[in-house]
Chains A and B, each alone.
Chain A
Amino acid sequence: MSAPVLGIADLWAGYGDAPVIRGLSVTVGQGEVAVIIGPNGHGKTTLLRAISGLLRPSGGRVELDGQPVQGRPPEHIAQLGLVHVPQGDGLFDQMTVEENLLMGAFPRASWRARRRALGHVYAMFPSIGGLAGQRARTLSGGERRLTALGRSLMRPSRIMLIDEPSLGLAPVAIDTVYRAIAELKAAQTTLLLVEENFTHVADIADAVHVVEMGQIVRSGSFGELASDPVVVATYLGGL
């Protein structure tokens, strides 16, 4: 495999004195869709926040295209091509859907191409196009998630981190969101998703990593993990 887009080695991070991520290592290759699954409270969100710089890691390395970025501010890491769709979608609630999308194109080079990017996003998610003038706080959960995903396409990215795309959504909305993610995969986007279980990721995951107590405890293809009785019992609920 070529050099990884994202390389994480012995990463430590947490809040106050309590480490949540304890020496975690993982890599994501070009065009790969990596999924991290694990129970709530075992560090999935903390991991993504430590990668994108919202949380300052207390130790270890985060490399983006071979360049160390740990400890850099999130706006700096974002400008290097890392896109993070955070838990709760991170929308600007008093702004319209279109203004939210435009903010996704904040870096100067992307701002110049913002009209073209808007057209691209509306073509990809026609349902958002109809909501362009609506304020974000009036959107449904599914519309919010799609707006957040659409916003992440407003600038070119090297890798996109998505925090629990299915969280809090009705089943029909989850389907829509995962169809959108499948389209991202089809467009060769490098993705790192976290989910509580792997119910929804069967068709898209190239690699699945299981996180427990802030460490990766199992890694493999979806097929490998789906045939492991322990993993299945824990994360597929006996499906």
Chain B
Amino acid sequence: MLLTDLVGIAVTTVILGSIYGLVAIGMTLIYGTLRILDMSQGSMVMVGSFIAWGVLVVAGWNPVIAILLAFLATFGLGVFTQLISVQPLMKRRDAIDFEMVTFITTFAVAIVFTNLALEILGPQQRNVTTVVAGGINVYHGVNLPYQSLLMAIVSIALMAGLGLFLARTRWGMAIRAVAQNLDAARLMGVPVGRLYPLTMGLASALAGVAGVFLGGLYFAYPQAGDLPLLEALIVVIFGGLGSLLGTVYAAYAIGLVQAIAEVFAGTTWSLPILYGVILVVLIVRPQGLLGKPSEARL
């Protein structure tokens, strides 16, 4: 094995893992807190991509504006989605199969968003300008585009920021408290009616920012969130449903396997190899890397 290969694998792992992590960590946050597999997270990626296109291409503004605007818009959209598709079911959560029903209701909202985008913006794939051009030569022949570097840095910063928010702040701790013991958290005075929309808004905002970068890598179009949603689901389950740290590990583990497969087997084989590995790991360890069978986690 050449050093070039190793450096190439390391670079690809960090880039892929960071973006996988950013898309998936919101799903974990939502599952850990609300016990919902939020199928609308892909829509947030799609909206983020379109915002990147609108800000960078149509308006010609600064990428920082695209990131901020995507964060705020998808935060609001996440709150809205929670209020229309989850909150009305909250009071009856013990009387229904809450996980399955919200899986469907959030999926329904996602389909509405996709079709609204189709109606308003059309089916064509919009090319999003590279957020930042150029790159650096890390090692002989291993090129690291600034775009990817920025994407990794922002993703890692946002994930670390989320960690600090949950560890240190009043509302962040309240989110963990609700995830671990709902009744006790309410007895402490935590208003769950406001905390749940806040949690879904926050998670959606992270997916929205991921969408800005993914738009730059691929395109902005109404189905732009479908593949990221599937990938996020896989990362989340691979990491152990509801475990934030597990999600981060899983994101980089998947990035690593994909990077190794790309270097040694080529792009055609990288995805089959990746999913083969995931299949084997999940058969051996069905609860995922850090998951504990049906228990509160965050």
A→B interface (CB under 8 Å):
52-54, 73-76, 78-79, 83-84, 86, 90-95, 99, 102-104, 106-107, 111, 151, 155
Known contacts being A78-B189, A106-B174, is A94 close to B298, with CB within 8 Å? yes
Known A75-B192, A106-B170, A111-B170; judge A92-B187 contact (CB<8 A): no
A53 vs B173: C-alpha distance when bound (angstroms): 22
| In the complex, B115 has a CB within 8 A of chain A | no
CA gap between A93 and B297 in the complex, in Å: 9
- Residues of chain B within 8 A of A75, CB atoms compared: 186-192
In the assembled complex, the Cα of A73 lies from the Cα of B191 at a distance in Å of: 9
- B170 contacts across to A, CB distance below 8 A: 106, 111
Q: Is the CB of A90 within 8 A of B187?
A: yes
User: B25 an interface residue at 8 Å Cβ cutoff?
Assistant: no
Whole-angstrom CA separation of A91 from B170 in the bound complex: 17
B181 neighbours in A (Cβ, 8 Å): 90-93
A102 to chain B: which residues have CB within 8 Å? 173
Q: How far is the CB of B95 from chain A (nearest CB, A)?
A: 11
A74-B187, A106-B189 are known contacts; what are 12 more A-B pairs with Cβ within 8 Å?
A75-B188, A76-B191, A84-B187, A86-B183, A92-B181, A93-B296, A94-B296, A95-B173, A95-B180, A103-B177, A103-B190, A111-B170
Collect the chain A residues with CB atoms within 8 Å of residue B193's CB.
73
- Interfacial residues of chain B within 167-208, with CB under 8 A of chain A in the complex: 170, 173-174, 176-177, 180-181, 183-193
Q: How far is the CA of A234 from the CA of B25 in the complex (A)?
A: 56
Note all chain B residues with C-beta closer than 8 A to A73: 186, 193
What is the CB-to-nearest-CB distance from A2 to chain B, in angstroms, rounded to a whole number? 26
Chain A residues with Cβ below 8 Å from B297 are 94
Q: Which of B177, B186, B296 is close to A74, meaning CB atoms less than 8 Å apart? A: B186
Bound Cα distance A74, B186 (Å): 6
How far is the CB of B88 from the nearest CB of chain A, in Å? Answer: 16
Cα distance A102–B184 in the bound complex, in angstroms = 13
Which residues from A are CB-within-8-Å of B190?
75, 103, 106
**A18 CA / B271 CA spacing, docked (Å):** 56
Chain B residues with CB under 8 A of A83: 187
CA distance A86 to B176 in the complex (A): 19
Least Cβ–Cβ distance between B240 and chain A, in angstroms: 14
A95 CB contacts on chain B under 8 angstroms: 173, 176-177, 180
Query: Which residue of chain A is the closest to B189 with respect to CB atoms?
Result: A78
Chain B interface, DSSP helix/strand/loop, else mixed = helix
Complex alpha-carbon distance, A106 and B189, angstroms: 6
In the complex, are the beta carbons of A92 and B189 less than 8 A apart? no
Q: What residues of B have a CB within 8 angstroms of the CB of A103 in the complex?
A: 173-174, 177, 185, 188, 190
Q: How far is the CB of A116 from chain B (nearest CB, A)?
A: 16
Partner of A54, one of B180, B186, B298: B186
Please name all residues of chain B whose beta carbon is closer than 8 Å to the beta carbon of A107 when the two chains form the complex.
Answer: 189
Q: For B176, give its contact among A74, A94, A111, A155 (CB under 8 Å).
A: A94
| Beta-carbon contact of B180 and A74 below 8 Å | no
In Å, the complex CA distance between A111 and B177 comes to 15
**For B173, what are the chain A residues with a Cβ–Cβ distance below 8 Å?**
95, 99, 102-103
Nearest 10 interchain pairs by C-beta:
A90-B184, A78-B189, A74-B186, A92-B180, A106-B188, A107-B189, A75-B186, A79-B189, A106-B189, A75-B191
Q: Is the CB of B183 within 8 A of A90?
A: yes
In the bound complex, CA of A76 to CA of B173 (Å): 19
Within 8 A of A (CB), among B38-60: none
CB distance from A163 to the nearest CB of B (A): 11
A155 to B190, alpha carbons, bound, how many Å?
13
CA distance A53 to B191 in the complex (A): 13
**Of all chain A residues, which has the CB nearest B195?**
A75
Interchain CA distance A107-B185 in the complex, whole Å: 11
A78 to B186, CA, bound (A): 8
Cβ–Cβ contact B176 & A54, under 8 A: no
A-B contact pairs, 18 of them (CB 8 A): A52-B187, A73-B193, A74-B183, A75-B186, A83-B187, A86-B183, A90-B187, A91-B184, A92-B180, A92-B181, A92-B185, A95-B176, A95-B177, A103-B173, A103-B174, A103-B190, A107-B189, A155-B189
Q: Nearest-CB distance from A48 to chain B (Å)?
A: 10
Query: Which residue on chain B has the smallest CB distance to residue A81?
Result: B189
User: When the two chains form their complex, are residues A94 and B180 in contact, meaning their CB atoms are under 8 A apart?
Assistant: yes
- Which residues of chain A come closer than 8 Å to B180, judged between CB atoms? 92-95
Residues of B49-84 at the interface with A, using a CB-CB cut-off of 8 Å, are none
Residue of A nearest to B171 (CB): A106
Please give, as numbers and ranges, the residues of chain A lying within 8 Å of B184 by CB-CB distance.
Answer: 86, 90-92
Smallest Cβ-Cβ distance to B193: which chain A residue = A73
Q: Is the CB of B188 within 8 A of A104?
A: yes
Measured between C-beta atoms, what is the minimum distance from B164 to chain A in Å?
A: 14
Return the chain A residue nearest B178 by Cβ. A92
